[in-house]
């Protein structure tokens, strides 16, 4: 009887020890994988505004075809819009004259691209009330001009810049997307490299505007990893 009890106890200890070893091995192997943070693609709407100081001047004779009497010229440097859009197109513009103090809508009559990518925009300034002589326009009168992008541009493949990598040899840009597959323990997670290209605008706020060159946009991507990743690397999603 005593030997049976001893045998039963030894068998229980063996099973418990074996189970503990399996669990410990599983946890140990899992902990060797880099911990990654994942996310899904986000959408964004392009919002751009620009403010500048200028003056009201008599219109050049070249603008007689648009019946312009007064014009306002605004210089928009490339640095003001290059991260938002490639060209200045659909805009709404208002000017607040120092002599009046409230906004009046302007009409764009000429767009002059500069060699460095900047623009000079010429607007027709027409104020019905001032034309009646109540508050006459003075040449050289200072104004503040407010330009706003009014397009309906929306972008659906926005990712944090931390998710984008660049191959140091080919210069190709890519992200890591996360997949899963079954193994002897259940499910395991791994990453695959997916090439991407930047779209215009390259940046909207603090997000990168990209286009995946293969696959869809339903698969989550890695935006942070505690270790350097490579194509096919096994990862873990939680600590």
Instruction: Based on the fold, state whether residues 53 and 110 are members of the same structural domain.
Output: yes
Give the residue-averaged pLDDT of 7-35.
57
pLDDT category at 193 given cuts 50, 70, 90 is: very high
- 56: Cβ contacts below 8 Å, ≥ 6 apart: 70, 71, 72, 97, 125, 137, 138, 139, 140, 141, 143
**Taking 60 as the threshold, does the pLDDT of residue 23 lie above it?**
no
Number of domains in the chain: 2
Give the residue-averaged pLDDT of 138-150.
94
Instruction: Based on the fold, state whether residues 112 and 169 are members of the same structural domain.
Output: no
**Taking 50 as the threshold, does the pLDDT of residue 22 lie above it?**
no
Could you tell me the strand order of the sheet in which 119-125 lies?
A: 103-105, 91-97, 141-149, 49-58, 70-76, 119-125, 107-113
Considering the domain boundaries, does residue 14 fall inside one? Answer: no
pTM given for the model? 0.66
- What is the structure's pLDDT at 15? 58
Instruction: Based on the fold, state whether residues 55 and 40 are members of the same structural domain.
Output: no
Give CA separation, 104 vs 38, 145, 214, in Å. 47, 10, 48
Neighbours of 235 (CB within 10 A): 20
End residue of a domain, out of 125, 149, 173: 149
- 86: Cβ contacts below 8 Å, ≥ 6 apart: 200, 201
- What is the structure's pLDDT at 198? 92
Give the residue-averaged pLDDT of 77-102.
88
Please report, for the domain that includes residue 117, its CATH number.
Answer: 2.40.30.170
Lowest-confidence range among 12-26, 84-98, 207-221? 12-26
**Taking 60 as the threshold, does the pLDDT of residue 7 lie above it?**
no
Instruction: Based on the fold, state whether residues 179 and 208 are members of the same structural domain.
Output: yes
- Helices and strands (DSSP H and E) totals, the chain: 2, 16
Mean pLDDT of the chain: 85
Give the residue-averaged pLDDT of 167-186.
88
Q: Which residue range(s) make up the domain with 191?
A: 34-44+156-235
């Amino acid at each position: 009887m005593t030997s049976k009890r001893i045998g039963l106890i030894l068998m229980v200890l063996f099973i418990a020890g074996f189970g503990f070893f399996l669990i410990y091995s599983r946890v140990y192997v899992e902990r060797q994988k880099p911990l990654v943070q994942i996310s899904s693609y986000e959408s964004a709407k392009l919002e751009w505004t620009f403010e500048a100081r200028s003056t009201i001047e008599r219109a050049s004779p070249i603008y007689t075809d648009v019946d312009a009497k007064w014009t306002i010229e605004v210089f928009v440097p490339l640095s003001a819009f290059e991260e938002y859009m490639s060209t200045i197109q659909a805009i709404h513009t208002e000017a607040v004259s120092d002599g009046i103090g409230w906004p009046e809508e302007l009409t764009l009559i000429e767009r002059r691209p500069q060699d460095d990518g900047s623009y000079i925009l010429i607007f027709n300034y027409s104020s019905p009330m001032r034309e009646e002589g109540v508050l006459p326009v003075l040449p050289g009168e200072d104004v503040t001009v407010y330009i706003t992008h009014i397009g309906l541009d929306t972008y659906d493949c926005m990712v944090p810049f931390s998710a984008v990598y660049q191959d140091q040899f080919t210069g190709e840009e890519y992200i890591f997307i996360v997949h899963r597959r079954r193994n002897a323990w259940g499910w395991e997670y791994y990453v695959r490299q997916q090439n991407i290209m930047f779209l215009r605008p390259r940046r909207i706020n603090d997000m990168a505007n990209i286009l995946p060159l293969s696959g869809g946009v339903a698969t989550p991507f890695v935006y942070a990893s505690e270790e350097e990743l490579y194509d096919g690397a096994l990862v873990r999603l939680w600590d």
